[in-house]
Amino acid sequence: MKVGITYDLRADYLLMGYGEEATAEFDKQDTIDAIAGALNHLGYETDRIGHVRALVKRLAEGDRWDMVFNIAEGLQGFGREAVVPSLLESYGIPYTFSDPMVLSLTLHKAMTKHVVRDLGIATPDFWVVEKESDVRFIDSSFPLFAKPVAEGTGKGITAASKIMNRKQLTGACRNMLERYRQPVLVETFLPGREFTVGILGTGERATPIGVMEILLNDRAEPEVYSYTNKENYENRVQYRLTRDHAAQKASEVALKAYQGLGCRDAGRVDLRMDDHGQPNFIEINPLAGLNPTHSDLCIIARKAGMDFEKLIAGIMTSAVERCHSTMKEDNTHEDWYYFQPAGRTWPKELGSLG
């Protein structure tokens, strides 16, 4: 089975002149090597495709894959994570992780919170600031919390994100609007424990693999899981897998959000407890980082007793099963040959698809 790998390599964009923060969500070479190595060890033939322009070139040249392991984040726009999946769907090529609709929705944190709230899931009150004058419409007590509406890896989050008065709110929104050229999400600051939940699988078969509490030490920027804290997590952050009552409630909320939003194969949900001890949805990452050492999803899996290869195997199993199920249900589908060419065998870990 030939598996292409799509990704954005951080080093490529640094050579183009982009800065460290602008490329924070992109992958390092060791991440791509680890994914390819795990797939090879599981019995797959791998082909490193790269970013979206490389994919376009390869498709135009007639190249095809039985499955694409997609972790491409994209560079700009609310649909940046959806570009590669949209292209692959246009060519009838199966791929891992969520579809274009989910990836576009979840990248926009405020739109996601609208949907999550309609699902009956608690999430902090929020406002979207598209221009500085929008701040006047925020009628709330402090503290508040502000961050760019469509960034990941803690980009735009600093100690100044916790806001104690209107002057700070105006200044924070002005700075983020100028720096990130996108709306600012402002929400009620929650004072309680912070969790991130790793989930593996799709639909009814999705399962939380662990609940990890994020604890900041004395060296960290206080009270916020910021970009700087994440980048220097070894000295600033303690990660603790927890199974207490609060963690169980967080796990249930995370799974409800993951399934309700239609996420697939694997992802990560961030939550924080309010002052009543209830877990609130903060955001979701359906295209979670997969660096074996540094990425939260991989840390959760490792702490839960699942090594990196087993995590990759679980993601591939989920993708294979749902793609096969969809194709079997659609009797008019003619693209199965992209997925299971004659003469190729499945890795033993996946079992029979017949």
Proportion of the chain above pLDDT 70, given as a percent: 92
**Diameter over CA atoms, the chain:** 67
Summarize pLDDT for 206-243 with one digit per residue, the tens.
999 999 999 999 999 988 898 889 889 899 999 999 99
Q: Where are the domains of the chain?
A: 2-97+309-346, 125-188
Give the torsion sign (CA, 142, 276, 209, 240). positive
Summarize pLDDT for 37-82 with one digit per residue, the tens.
999 999 999 999 999 999 999 999 999 999 999 999 999 899 999 9
Residue 70's pLDDT is what? Answer: 98
Question: What is the dotted CATH code of the domain comprising 2-97+309-346?
Answer: 3.40.50
Split at pLDDT 50, 70, 90, the class of 329 is low
- Cα separations in angstroms, 209 against 75, 251, 328: 30, 9, 29
Domain covering 125-188: architecture: 2-Layer Sandwich (3.30)
B/e letters for 53-78, b = 16+ CB within 10 Å, e = fewer, are ebbeebbeeeebbbbbbbbbbbbeeb
Task: Assess whether the region 2-97+309-346 and the region 125-188 belong to the same CATH fold.
Answer: no
Backbone angles phi, psi at 214, to 5 degrees: -105, 115
Summarize pLDDT for 89-123 with one digit per residue, the tens.
999 999 999 999 999 999 999 999 999 999 999 99
